Amino acid sequence: MLPATVAVPRIPIVDKVSLPADKSAVLVVDMQNDFAHPNGKLYGPSAREIIPRIAKLLERARAKKVRIVYTQDTHYPDDPVEFPIWGPHVVKGSWGWQIVEELKPREGDLVVEKMRYDPFFGTPLDHILRMYGVRHLVVVGTVANICVLHAVAGARLRLYDVAVPIDAIAALNEFDYAAALRQMDFLYKATLTTVDGVSFE
């Protein structure tokens, strides 16, 4: 029987994280209309709320010429794996598949299409990052305990240094958010911080 309440272990948050601009990238996970727009098929209100904070981080990163990489969750009609769980969403070419207008990629940004939660699985993401000498990732986006957590896991298991601004990731509820932070810290040893705590040198 599940407990009525669950105590969240202490999760350390670092005030300041300074990263080398020429070896860093910001990884923006799945900030697409179906997830982050009120008319989206799997809309989560907290995903909408983090858009201004992600935009602020991207401006700071671009000013230092830090590479920006977007993941774009991508499915084809009748996806046999995720559609039975979530229903049809982010079908390639649809409005819901597009990255939200407020965070639209700019010239020089990279977009990696992925078909599963883990953006490293079956994609060239790792090759792209290594090709450009990236060793440090700042991971933001949605959903915290699903695709964001899998992005952090995939990166750490490939020995990238990972920082996660906890005010720039979104979850469907508080439990999932806290559980994701716990795993990022305890299991994957990512550095948890805030958008204002991230700087590039």
Query: Is-above-0.75 flag for pTM?
Result: yes
Quick check: is 114 catalytic? yes
| Annotated active-site residue in 34, 73, 118, 147 | 147
User: What's the whole-number average pLDDT of the chain?
Assistant: 97
138 by Cβ neighbours in 10 Å (0-12 / 13-18 / 19+) ranks as buried
Cα separation, 156 vs 82, whole angstroms: 24
- As a residue count, the chain comes to 201
Of the pLDDT bands very low, low, confident and very high (cuts 50, 70, 90), residue 125 is: very high
Q: What pLDDT, on the 0 to 100 scale, is given for residue 5?
A: 84
pLDDT digits (tens, 9 = 90+) for 46-75: 999 999 999 999 999 999 999 999 999 999
pLDDT digits (tens, 9 = 90+) for 170-199: 999 999 999 999 999 999 999 999 999 999
Quick check: is 176 catalytic? no
- Domains and their CATH numbers in the chain: 17-200 (3.40.50.850)
Pairing of strands 110-114, 67-73: parallel
Which amino acid does the sequence have at 128? Answer: I
> Partners of 9 in the beta sheet?
none
Cα separation, 102 vs 86, whole angstroms: 25
Residue located via tokens 């202490």: 10
Cα separation, 194 vs 122, whole angstroms: 30
Q: Any alpha helices (H) in the chain, and if so which ranges? A: 33-36, 45-49, 51-63, 83-86, 125-131, 149-157, 174-182
pLDDT digits (tens, 9 = 90+) for 79-122: 999 999 999 999 999 999 999 999 999 999 999 999 999 999 99
Quick check: is 126 catalytic? no
| Annotated active-site residue in 30, 34, 79, 167 | 30
| Annotated active-site residue in 79, 114, 161, 167 | 114
Neighbours of 35 (CB within 10 A): 25
Q: What pLDDT, on the 0 to 100 scale, is given for residue 19?
A: 98
